[in-house]
Amino acid sequence: MSVAPLLVALALYGYAAGAWPVAAAVALGTLASIATKRRVALAPAAQRVVLAAAIALGVALGLARAPAPGYGAGTLPSFASAIALGVLVAAGARAWIRAPERGYAITFALALVGVAACGATRLGSIYAIAVLAFFTASLAALRAHDAARATWAEQSPRDKRVGVAIGVVALGIAAAIARTLPPLYDWAQGRFDLAYEFVGFKSDLRLGSLDDLKKSDEIVLRISGTRVDYLRGAVYDHFDDRTSSWSLARRDTRSLVLRGSPPRDVHGVEIRRVGGWGERYFLPMRAGAIGSPAGEAIVDVTGVMRPVGNRRYDHYWFDLAAPDELAAADPTPEDSRVPARLRAALETILVDWTRPGDPPDVVLAKIARHFDDDYAYSLSFERPAADPLVDFLLVNKQGHCEYFASAMALLARAAKIPARVAAGYRVAERNPITGRYIVRQKNAHAWVEAWLPGSGWQTIDPTPASKLEENIARNESLGRALLDVASLAGAAIVDGWSRLGPIELAMIAMALTALFVVVRWLGGPRGARGGAGIDVTAGERPLPCLARLLEALAAHGVTHAPSEPLERLARRLADADLREPAELVERYAALRYGGVGDAAAIADAMDRCAAAFSR
C-alpha cells in the first residue's frame, strides 16, 4: 500500500517524459524492497546523505534525456524531468530504509513534488486521472502508516460516510476550481496585456491615453557584445485615422532556422531576456547568424522575429556582420498610404517645413529638426481623444515618442517617402563594471523606418534625443552597476547550473555529499547554548551501551522507568550499594546531556559493567 502512490507517480513520469525504462527501473527497485522485505537501518545523517545522493542521481538521469517538442507524452521539459526523477528516486530509496526519518510524510511529499513536476507539460485528462489516483493511494498509505488510526474496515459507518463525503466534496471543489482557473487566467492576462499594449509590443499601437504607459526601472534585457541602438519588437504599417492606431496590414510570415551556438567574434551580440513576456524577439533591423536554443522562429515581412508557438527562450544571439536573415520586404502601397482626412493638414505642414524638390533624406532631416526645435517631449499633457495626432501637430505640440514617430511617418508618406512605425527598445545604458548593456522597461521606444532609394529601409528617430533622458547613451551609476552585477551573478549561477551535463552534476553532488560528511565528522553536534555546552538535540534514544547496562540491571532486579531521570537512577543505584553502575550512569548522563566525557571510554566501561552483571 505504501508504495502505491510512488508507483502512480513513476508511471506518470514515464508517460510525461517518455522515459519508461528509467521509470520502470525505479519502480522495480522500490518493489524489490517490498518483495525482499529487507530494510537498511541508517542513522539520520546517513539517511540524509543517501537522500541527497538519490536526488543527485535522479536529477542527472532526468537531465540526460531530451524532451520532444510541443505538448503531450514525452514532452516533459528537462528541468521538470530532473526535478521529478530526482524526488521520485529519493522516495524510492526511502523504501529501503528502516524507520526513515520523519516517517511516511516525507515520502509522500517527495512523490507529490514528482507528480506536480510532471505537470510542467500538458497531458490532458491523463494527468487529472493520475493526480486523482495518486491522492487516493496517498491518503490510504498515510492511514496505513499511522498505527493510531483505525483501518477502513474498523471505522464506524458514520466515519465512513464522512470520509466519502469529504472525498466527494473535495472532488467537486477541485473540478470547479480547475474549470474556473483557465478562463480566469485569460481574463487576468488580457487585462495585463492591455496595460502592456500601450508600450507598443502588441499587435497594434494606439495613440491617445497615457494611463498605462510603462516607466518602470525593471530590467528587461541584458546585452553583451557590440552596441545596438535600436532593438525592434514590432513594426506597424497601417494607420487607422478613426481610432488613431497603428497595426500591421500584412500577415505573411516565413520560418527561420536558428543556429545552436552563440557567436564568438567581435560582431556577435548576445541578448538575455530577464523580464517581460518573451512573446517576441528584440533584434536590430538587419541581423544575421541568428541563433537560439529554440531552434526555429517565425519572421514576418517587416523583419520582426517571433517564437514558434510557446517555445520561448530567454537567450538568443546574432551577428551584425553576417548576411541579413531578417530581410524586411520592400515597401508596399500600405507604407505610403495617408488617411484622406489628414492629408490636407499634413501637406500644409510640409509646405511650411520643406521645399519642393528636396531629396527624401533632406525632407526627413528637416522634419526632424522642426520636431527638435518646436516640439516638446512630455508625458504629462491633455489631449482630445478625437484626433490626437492633429492635436499634437497643430495645437498642443508636446507628446511622447509614439506621437513623434507617428507624425513623422505620416509626414514622410505625405512627402511620397514610404515610412512606417517601429516599436521596441532603445539601448542606452551600459554597466561600466561588466561592460554589458542593460535595457529597462522605461527604454521602450517608438521610431520611424523610412525607405530611401538606394539605401532601403533606414531607422530615423524623430524624438528629440536630448529631451528623452533615459534613452541617452550613458553608463550606470556605480551603485546600480554593483546591484546589477549581483543579480547578474545570481542569474549566471542558475544559467551555469542548467548547462551542466549529467556527469558534471553527479560529480558536484558527490563532492557536496563528501563535503557534508566531512563537515559533520569534523564539526560534530553543537549545543544550542554554546556557553553551557548543552545539546538540546542530543539523543532521543539512549545509546546502546546504556540499554545493555539497563538490561543487565533489570535482570538483577533494578528496573528503570522511562520517566525516571538518569540522575535519580544513579542515586537509587548508589543507595542500593551499586556504586560502579551508579557512577557509570552519572558519567553517561554527563556525556549525553552535558556533552562532556569520552564517549568511547564510557561505552566501554558500561559494556564491561553490563557483562559483569550478566555473569
Interface of this chain with other proteins, residues 172 to 231, rule: CB under 8 A: 172-175, 177-178, 181-182, 185-186
Site for other proteins in 267-326 (CB under 8 A): 310
Binder among 170, 194, 327, 394 for other proteins (CB under 8 A) = 170
- CA 77 – CA 219 distance, rounded (Å): 26
User: Does 108 participate in binding other proteins (rule CB under 8 A)?
Assistant: yes
Identify the three-state secondary structure at position 355.
Answer: coil
Distance (Å, whole) CA 99 – CA 209: 65
What x/- string results for residues 452 through 471 when contact with other proteins is judged by CB under 8 A?
A: --------------------
506 makes contact with other proteins (CB under 8 A): no
At position 173, the amino acid (one-letter code) is I
φ and ψ at residue 174, rounded to 5 degrees: -60, -45
- Length of the chain, in residues: 615
State how far the alpha carbon of 76 is from the alpha carbons of 68, 86, 90, 346, in Å: 8, 14, 19, 56
Query: How many C-beta atoms lie closer than 10 Å to residue 58's C-beta?
Result: 27
State which residue, 345 or 590, has the beta carbon closest to other proteins: 590
At its nearest, how many Å lie between other proteins and the CB of residue 114? Answer: 10
Task: Tell me the Ramachandran region of residue 352: left when phi exceeds 0, alpha when psi lies from -120 to 50, beta otherwise.
Answer: alpha
Is 105 among the residues that bind other proteins (CB under 8 A)? yes
CA dihedral 355, 360, 362, 365 (to 10 degrees): 110
Q: Is residue 57 at the binding interface for other proteins, with CB under 8 A as the rule? A: no
Binding segment (CB under 8 A) for other proteins, from list 146-154, 219-227, 436-444, 492-500: 146-154
With CB under 8 A as the rule, give the number of residues binding other proteins.
74
Q: Using CB under 8 A, which of 34, 40, 99, 132 touches other proteins?
A: 132
- Pick 41 or 147: Cβ nearer other proteins: 147
Nine-digit cell string for 511: 563532492
Q: Interface with other proteins by CB under 8 A: which range of 118-126, 251-259, 287-295, 500-508?
A: 118-126
Measured from the CB atom, the residue of 287 and 585 that comes closer to other proteins is 585
Please identify which residue in 123, 258, 409, 582 interacts with other proteins, judged by CB under 8 A: 123
- Determine if 143 is a binding residue for other proteins (CB under 8 A): yes
The partner residues of 421 in beta bridges, in order of sequence, read 236, 448
What residues numbered 13-52 form the site for other proteins, per CB under 8 A? Answer: none
Q: Which C-beta is closer to other proteins: that of 480 or that of 571? A: 571
Report 524-543 residues binding other proteins (CB under 8 A).
527-534, 536-537, 540
Q: Please report whether residue 72 would count as binding other proteins according to CB under 8 A.
A: no
Q: Which is nearer to other proteins, 165 or 395 (CB)?
A: 165
Whole-number CA gyration radius for the chain: 36
Among 29, 72, 163, 275, the residue binding other proteins under the rule CB under 8 A is 163
Cell of 437: 548593456
For other proteins, the binding residue among 4, 589, 607, 608 (CB under 8 A) is: 589
Distances 111 to 5, 44, 174 between C-alpha atoms, Å:
7, 20, 20
Backbone dihedral region for residue 429 (phi beyond 0: left; psi -120 to 50: alpha; all else: beta): beta
- Contact residues for 218 (Cβ-Cβ < 8 A; gap 6+): 275, 440, 441
Q: Compute the least distance from the CB of residue 429 to other proteins, in Å.
A: 30
**Edge-to-edge, what's the strand order for the sheet holding 204-206?**
204-206, 245-247, 238-240
CB 179 within 8 A of CB 420: no
In angstroms, give the least distance from the CB of 593 to other proteins.
Answer: 4
The per-residue b/e assignment along 363-394, b for 16 or more CB within 10 angstroms, e otherwise, is bbebbbebbbeebebeeebebeeebbbbbbbe
Binding part of the chain for other proteins, among 41-49, 117-125, 367-375, 480-488 by CB under 8 A, reads: 117-125
Nearest residue (CB) to other proteins, 243 versus 537: 537
Q: What residues between 556 and 585 interact with other proteins by CB under 8 A?
A: 562-563, 565-567
Measured between alpha carbons, how far is 14 from 11 in angstroms, rounded to an integer?
5
Verify binding: residue 56, other proteins, rule CB under 8 A: no
Query: Could you say whether residue 119 binds other proteins (CB under 8 A)?
Result: yes
* Binding test (CB under 8 A) with other proteins, winner from 167, 293, 359, 453: 167
Nearest distance, CB of residue 609 and other proteins, angstroms:
17
Of 124 and 544, CB closest to other proteins:
124
